[in-house]
Amino acid sequence: MSAPDLSSLTIAVLGGTGPQGRGLARRFAAAGLDVVLGSRDAQRAQDTAATLADVGRVRGASNADAATAADIVLVVVPWDGHAELLESLKGELEGKVVVDCVNPLGFDKQGPYALRVEEGSATQQAAAILTGSRVVGAFHNVSAVLLEDPAVERIETDVLVLGDDREATDLVQALADVVPGMRGMYGGRLRNAHQVEALTANLIAINRRYKAHAGVRVTDV
Amino acid sequence: MSAPDLSSLTIAVLGGTGPQGRGLARRFAAAGLDVVLGSRDAQRAQDTAATLADVGRVRGASNADAATAADIVLVVVPWDGHAELLESLKGELEGKVVVDCVNPLGFDKQGPYALRVEEGSATQQAAAILTGSRVVGAFHNVSAVLLEDPAVERIETDVLVLGDDREATDLVQALADVVPGMRGMYGGRLRNAHQVEALTANLIAINRRYKAHAGVRVTDV
């Protein structure tokens, strides 16, 4: 089976003005893909896109316009407002591959912890709202610091891709594979997305203990 | 800070007659540690211990006698009966480091999935029951197949150690470190144990897709 061809596809990153969204956009643009950053504020998205102009093809737009323009739409918004944003873009996202990258986490004086999500996970919440889209979960555990650092040439991590739609998970695995060092790997069904999202709390705890930018590799694959 | 010295300690493995328990016992014994396998049926534990006699110092006992004999007690029993066993051994486990290794998982025709646990995780359930013990979670994501295979000399995986008691997590990290290839790593507080337990469902899904015995490595640490 040959890997899906991504070269003709446009990738939207909703919430693309935050560190994680900017970082992912940087890496996809550096790999030669066409990227549209989305934000509630189109001007802000355009300003952020301008900072990535020397990396590759990155433009900015409103979240709705970015969703409309793209073939694959990454959702990289804060957990607060996740459901609301997706409900507002249900039409624009119809029929598209939507990649939820959101980690529902809380923080208190003891550090990070996973929030309980009624639908089970952010990814399952997205799937429950976007009934006409092909929802996949991925890119949960990738360090924004590393993604955003131009001096970091390789992101040595596996991206666990969660989903029930094989064609969609294969496509998103191929998307992860365009980033040097990164490897897309099927990670289980949508119902097993919660623990991958929540594991980010552990990685943050590890980062604090070991002064690191921890990522995950799966061994023996 | 020097690593804790484990050479004078006895390690109990409750539920030590199952694949995971046998495999861990094999690896600790091979590293020169004193190991007691525990089982509901002492004779069965002794029979299993006899199969490991050429590996190192492994003996069998009832779960209660194994708990009494040991300094560090690993709990490797099936999720069904987890609470019941720990309640029955509350006295024997008083003051000891108890390492919960249990993954509350269900299986159906779509494969593995994480069960919801009222206390949040098996490890937190153990801590709620064993209020006089020092409860840590660890060894959740280690392949029993690899542990049990005498031809596998190195177990290339990181063991995430969850806990709120630094001395206890340091000790359990050192215990993981005795196995060649294995690295004990602090993985967060008890309240972040659920996702590490549940991640085993993803690893099983990965094993099925990729015909592997998947483990986890944390990068940049």
pLDDT in tens, B96-140: 999 999 999 999 999 999 999 999 999 999 999 999 999 999 999
Minimal Cα–Cα distance from A97 to chain B, Å? 21
- The answer on pLDDT for A87 being more than 90 is yes
Residue of chain B minimizing CA distance to A120: B116
Minimal Cα–Cα distance from A93 to chain B, Å? 27
A11-29 in b/e form (b: 16+ CB < 10 A) is: bbbbbbbeebbbbbbbbbb
| A205 contacts on B by Cβ (under 8 Å) | 186-189, 192
What average pLDDT does chain A have?
97
C-alpha closest to that of A179 among A19, A27, A55: A27
Q: What is the mean pLDDT of residues A85-107?
A: 98
Distance from the first to the final alpha carbon of chain B: 17
pLDDT of residue A27: 98
pLDDT of residue B186: 98
pLDDT in tens, A31-84: 999 999 999 999 999 999 999 999 999 999 999 999 999 999 999 999 999 999
- The answer on pLDDT for A1 being more than 70 is no
Contact A195 B202 (CB under 8 A): yes
| Angle formed at CA A133 by CA A129 and CA A138, multiple of 5 degrees | 90
Minimal Cα–Cα distance from A135 to chain B, Å? 18
The confidence band for A2, taking pLDDT boundaries of 50, 70 and 90, is: low
pLDDT of residue B4: 83
Q: Which among B162, B202, B221 has the least Cβ separation from residue A192?
A: B202
Question: What global pTM score does this model have?
Answer: 0.96
